[in-house]
Structure 1
Amino acid sequence: MSFFIRHKKSAALKPKANPYPSRSPRWRYRLGFTLIAIGLLGGILRLHKPFYDGIEQRLFEGTAWIQAGFIHPFQETRALLKNTHVFMHLREEYERLSQENEKLKWQLQTLGALHHENGILRQHLHIPIVEQCGHLTAKILSSPYDGLHHFFLIASGDKDGIEKEQPVIVKEGVVGRLEKVGAHVSRVLLLNDSNSRIPVITSTSQQKAILAGDGTFLPTLVYVGDVRKIQQGEQVLTSGMGGIFPAGLPVGIVDEITNNKIRVRPYVPFKSIEWVHILRLHPEGFREELNAALRAE
Structure 2
Amino acid sequence: MARDRNADYDFRTPVRRILIGVVGFLLLVIFLIWRIDSPRVERFRTAFIDRVVPNMDWAMAPVTKLADMVGGFQSYASLYEQNQELRRELQRMKSWKEAAVQLEQQNAKLLAQNQVRLDPKLTSVSGVVLADSGSPFRQSVLLNVGARDGIVDGWATMDGLGLVGRISGVGERTARVILLTDASSRIPVTIQPSGQRAMLVGDNTPAPPVEFLETPEQVRPGDRVISSGDGGIFPAGLLVGVVEADSERRLRVRLAADYERLSFLRVLRSHPAEEINEAGSLILPAFPPIQPAVTLPENAPPATVEPGDG
Give the shorter-chain TM-score range.
Answer: 0.5 to 0.7
Larger Rg computed on CA atoms: 2
Aligned equivalents of 1:88 and 1:261: distance in 2?
Answer: 37
| 1:225-284 deviation line (CA, Å, top 9, x unaligned) | 1111110111111111121211111101111166663111101111212000000112xx
Pairing 1:195–2:191 present: no
Please name the residue that 1:181 is paired with.
170
Please tell me the residue identity of whatever aligns with 2:239. P
Aligned length: 178
Check if 1:254 corresponds to 2:243: yes
Counterpart Cα distance in 2 of 1:261 and 1:86? 34
- Residue 124 of structure 2 corresponds to residue 139 of structure 1: no
CA deviations on 1:124-173 (whole Å, 9 max, x unpaired) are xxxxxx74211000000011221021101010110001101000012211
Distance of aligned partners of 1:268 and 1:131 in 2 relative to their CA distance in 1, 3 Å threshold: closer
Partner of 1:278: 267
Note the aligned Cα RMSD (angstroms): 3.5
2-side partners of 1:222 and 1:88: how far apart? 39
1:166 and 2:161 matched:
no
Q: What TM-score, normalized by structure 2, do the two folds share?
A: 0.51
The runs of 5 or more residues in structure 2 that have no matched partner are: 1-92, 279-310
Q: Aligned residue for 2:195?
A: 206
Alignment equivalent of 1:221, drawn from 174, 192, 210:
210
Stretches of 4+ aligned residues off by more than 2 angstroms: 81-89, 257-261
Per-residue CA deviation, residues 165-215 of structure 1 (Å, 9 max, x unaligned), is 000012211000001001111100000100001110111221100100011
Equivalent position of 2:30 in the other structure: none
For residues 219 and 248 of structure 2, the distance between their equivalents in structure 1, rounded to whole angstroms, comes to: 13
Secondary structure of 1:247 counterpart: coil
Gap runs ≥5 in structure 1: 1-80, 102-106, 112-129
Paired residues for 1:141-156 under 5 Å: 141-156=130-145
Aligned CA distance change for structure 1 residues 214 and 87 (closer, same or farther; 3 Å):
closer
Query: Aligned partners of 2:173 and 2:99: how far apart in 1?
Result: 32
Calculate the TM-score normalised by the size of structure 1.
Answer: 0.53
